[in-house]
């Protein structure tokens, strides 16, 4: 018991000192830390519930994916059939029941058609399945169904892209230190500290921003268009809400002249009437084909379409050769700015919607930090006083351990770049309460052994030895509960679990190893015949 070699003492104190030093930068404002040259040291992050800010959980609309894939495939099938030599005549394309089906006019070409369709599909992973299931029904009809594997692969890729695009859009807003992480298969978690009003953010990241220019079919029968019937090769789209002709149907050619992927840049600007517009310019390839189409269609209108809604349908007065265009559509400067950011960052490959949103005002966060600090200080004071009154000198050692422990937990949190949340502060207070439990166990055991008439050194030795086993078992069970919270809990609760787990680990060290060293040093120096405990 009394045998404590110097290297052991040095390493215990060393470990604790490192822990405390790591905590230092987190205890001062970031600017102060930078001033005194500690800017590079790890810090504890403040959770949104303390720092104030917004958290938005976005979920991909996966139900829509299969449908979109089927309707996007239609044009590709037409193209590949037309382009094969000789062309394969097909008819009666339908996209009912989540599958694409068409029939091949010449029964002898069915095999050739299937072969061509094959080139449109690709393998999924290494399992041998493909992203489309192709079958021949009634000998001349080909049915294509998107497979589950194909859809999930698509969602996976789309989410990867969507996360990037969301990041670009938020960065463009210039907000401070946003966190954007993908969660699970189809979710993105966005956290923006300090943002009190998430309306603009939501409007911006929720926008798919799929931009298309399509020619208006002027030959379409207005009566049929009004009834929602599109001529072959056309589709009916409506004017976007907020436009003068909101809701009016327009027949446009399915094939787009140019899309958002051809964009080189998008900027908010004002037109000659002082109305907010978005000026766009195309990449050279897109500019060329846009010039070509406008040359051939002078006098005809084309529709500017955003997310399948028509913004405007200006007439082509002269060929547009410069590769630039201006989008107008009853914008405010703000909404034009948002659209420019959205277009610049690219279209979301998959529609996202908000499933959870939490905003904490900066005032509440400040109040919580303030209250948390006061509560922790009072808790420490009460526990310290109580321990001292109960165990005297041994209580003082336990108290030193508890106070050091608070700093070591903070240091460990900084090292792990962990986030401190409001429940995390509660975790601190609770840890202060439970950390002394180890010392209570030890000290009560020493009291017991003394009562049984054992000598001072032997009692202390037995106290530590017998209590250590119990402390270990009690902490393991406690850690099980905390680990479950860490795995299954969300946001603030994770923060609570982190503090609990770290507290369990560090408190064993401070409450057992550190106090044992203190007691041993004292016993060695004074060799007391009796102890006051």
Name which of residues 333 to 372 contact other proteins (CB under 8 A): 353-361, 363-364, 367-368, 370-372
**Binding of other proteins by 441 (CB under 8 A):** yes
DSSP state of 174: T
Q: Residue 148 Cβ, how far from other proteins at the closest point, in Å?
A: 20
Please list the alpha-helical segments (H only) found in 36-85: 48-51, 63-83
Is 510 in contact with 412 (CB distance < 8 Å)? Answer: no
Q: Crossing angle of helices 422-451/393-415, nearest 10°?
A: 150
**Binding of other proteins by 489 (CB under 8 A):** yes
**Binding of other proteins by 379 (CB under 8 A):** yes
In three-state secondary structure terms, 530 is coil
Q: Residue 138 Cβ, how far from other proteins at the closest point, in Å?
A: 39
**Binding of other proteins by 426 (CB under 8 A):** yes
From CA 520, how far away is CA 457, in angstroms rounded?
9
- Among the listed residues 443, 430, 449, the one whose alpha carbon sits nearest the alpha carbon of residue 511: 443
Is 212 in contact with 235 (CB distance < 8 Å)? Answer: no
**Binding of other proteins by 206 (CB under 8 A):** yes
Tell me how many residues contact other proteins (CB under 8 A). 76
**Binding of other proteins by 496 (CB under 8 A):** yes
CA angle 307-304-98, nearest 5°?
40
**Binding of other proteins by 444 (CB under 8 A):** yes
Residue with tokens 């209570």: 440
**Binding of other proteins by 497 (CB under 8 A):** yes
**Binding of other proteins by 307 (CB under 8 A):** no
From CA 4, how far away is CA 358, in angstroms rounded?
53
Span 52-71, contacts to other proteins by CB under 8 A? 57, 59
From CA 341, how far away is CA 334, in angstroms rounded?
11
In three-state secondary structure terms, 212 is strand
Minimum CB distance to other proteins smaller for 280 or for 398 = 398
**Binding of other proteins by 484 (CB under 8 A):** yes
**Binding of other proteins by 386 (CB under 8 A):** yes
From CA 245, how far away is CA 223, in angstroms rounded?
17
- Residue-by-residue DSSP string for 408-458: HHHHHHHHTT-EE-HHHHHHHHHHHHHHHHHHHHHHHHHHHHHHTT--HHH
**Binding of other proteins by 480 (CB under 8 A):** yes
- Asked if omega into 86 is within 30° of 0 (cis), the reply is yes
Minimum CB distance to other proteins smaller for 208 or for 312 = 208
**Binding of other proteins by 473 (CB under 8 A):** yes
User: Candidates 14-22, 217-225, 383-391, 403-411 — which segment interacts with other proteins by CB under 8 A?
Assistant: 383-391
Minimum CB distance to other proteins smaller for 24 or for 483 = 483
**Binding of other proteins by 190 (CB under 8 A):** no
Residue selected from 434, 457, 468, 509 as contacting other proteins according to rule CB under 8 A? 434
Residue selected from 6, 272, 453, 469 as contacting other proteins according to rule CB under 8 A? 469
**Binding of other proteins by 194 (CB under 8 A):** no
Minimum CB distance to other proteins smaller for 116 or for 354 = 354
Minimum CB distance to other proteins smaller for 300 or for 478 = 478
- Among the listed residues 331, 327, 324, the one whose alpha carbon sits nearest the alpha carbon of residue 305: 327
**Binding of other proteins by 193 (CB under 8 A):** no
**Binding of other proteins by 407 (CB under 8 A):** no
Q: Residue 195 Cβ, how far from other proteins at the closest point, in Å?
A: 12
Six-digit token string for 476: 């393991």
Residue with tokens 């049915």: 143
Positions of E strands within 53-176: 53-60, 90-94, 100-104, 132-137, 141-146
Residues 387-406, mask of contacts with other proteins (x by CB under 8 A):
x-xxxx--------------
Is 384 in contact with 402 (CB distance < 8 Å)? Answer: yes
From CA 42, how far away is CA 147, in angstroms rounded?
47
Q: Residue 497 Cβ, how far from other proteins at the closest point, in Å?
A: 8
**Binding of other proteins by 15 (CB under 8 A):** no
Radius of gyration of the chain (CA): 35
**Binding of other proteins by 485 (CB under 8 A):** yes
**Binding of other proteins by 422 (CB under 8 A):** yes
User: Candidates 63-71, 97-105, 218-226, 474-482 — which segment interacts with other proteins by CB under 8 A?
Assistant: 474-482
- Number of alpha carbons in the 13 Å side-chain half-sphere of residue 452: 12
User: Candidates 75-83, 199-207, 228-236, 321-329 — which segment interacts with other proteins by CB under 8 A?
Assistant: 199-207
Residue selected from 114, 151, 440, 505 as contacting other proteins according to rule CB under 8 A? 440
User: Candidates 66-74, 169-177, 253-261, 425-433 — which segment interacts with other proteins by CB under 8 A?
Assistant: 425-433
Residue selected from 248, 281, 309, 470 as contacting other proteins according to rule CB under 8 A? 470
Minimum CB distance to other proteins smaller for 203 or for 230 = 203
- Among the listed residues 253, 304, 252, the one whose alpha carbon sits nearest the alpha carbon of residue 277: 304
């Amino acid at each position: 018991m009394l045998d404590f070699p110097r290297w052991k003492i040095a390493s215990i104190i060393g470990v604790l000192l490192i822990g405390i030093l790591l905590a230092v930068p987190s205890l001062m404002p970031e600017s102060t830390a930078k001033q005194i040259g500690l800017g590079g040291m790890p810090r504890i992050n403040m959770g949104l519930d303390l720092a104030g800010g917004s958290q938005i959980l976005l979920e991909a609309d996966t139900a829509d994916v299969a449908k979109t894939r089927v309707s996007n495939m239609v044009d590709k099938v037409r193209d590949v059939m037309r382009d094969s030599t000789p062309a394969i005549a097909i008819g009666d394309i339908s996209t009912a029941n989540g599958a694409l089906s068409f029939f091949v006019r010449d029964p002898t070409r069915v095999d050739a058609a299937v072969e061509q369709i094959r080139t449109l599909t690709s393998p999924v992973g290494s399992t041998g399945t493909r992203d489309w299931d192709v079958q021949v029904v009634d000998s001349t009809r080909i049915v294509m169904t998107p497979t589950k594997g194909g859809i999930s692969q698509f969602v996976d890729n789309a989410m990867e892209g969507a996360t990037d695009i969301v990041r670009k859009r938020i960065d463009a807003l210039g907000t401070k230190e946003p966190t954007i992480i993908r969660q699970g298969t189809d979710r993105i978690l966005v956290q923006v500290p300090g943002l009190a009003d998430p309306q603009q953010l939501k409007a911006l990241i929720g926008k798919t921003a799929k931009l298309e220019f399509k020619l208006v079919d002027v030959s379409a029968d207005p009566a049929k268009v009004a009834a929602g019937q599109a001529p072959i090769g056309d589709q009916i789209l409506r004017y976007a809400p907020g436009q003068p002709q909101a809701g009016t149907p327009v027949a446009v050619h399915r094939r787009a002249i140019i899309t958002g992927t051809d964009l080189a840049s998008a900027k908010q600007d004002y037109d000659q009437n002082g109305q907010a517009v978005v000026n766009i310019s195309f990449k050279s390839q897109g500019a060329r084909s846009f010039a070509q189409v406008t040359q051939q269609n002078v006098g005809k209108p084309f529709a500017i379409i955003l997310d399948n809604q028509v913004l405007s349908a200006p007439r082509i007065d002269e060929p547009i050769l410069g590769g630039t265009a201006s989008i107008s559509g009853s914008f405010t400067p703000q909404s034009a700015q948002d659209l420019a950011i959205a277009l610049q960052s690219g279209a979301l490959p998959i529609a996202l919607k908000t499933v959870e949103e939490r905003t904490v005002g900066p005032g509440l966060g400040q109040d919580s930090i303030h209250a948390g600090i006061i509560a922790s200080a009072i808790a420490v004071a009460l526990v310290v006083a109580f321990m001292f009154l109960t165990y005297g000198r041994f209580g003082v050692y336990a108290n030193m351990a508890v106070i050091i422990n608070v700093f070591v937990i903070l240091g460990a949190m900084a090292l792990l770049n962990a986030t401190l949340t409001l429940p995390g502060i509660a975790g601190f207070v609770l840890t202060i309460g439970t950390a002394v439990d180890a010392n209570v166990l030890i000290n009560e055991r020493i009291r017991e052994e003394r009562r049984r008439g054992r000598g001072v050194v032997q009692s202390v030795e037995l106290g530590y030895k017998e209590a250590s086993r119990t402390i270990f078992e009690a902490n393991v069970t406690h850690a099980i509960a905390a680990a479950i919270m860490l795995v299954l809990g969300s946001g603030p609760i994770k923060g609570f679990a982190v503090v609990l787990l770290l507290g369990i680990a560090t408190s064993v060290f401070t409450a057992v190893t550190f106090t044992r060293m203190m007691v041993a040093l004292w016993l060695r120096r004074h060799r007391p015949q009796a102890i006051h405990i």
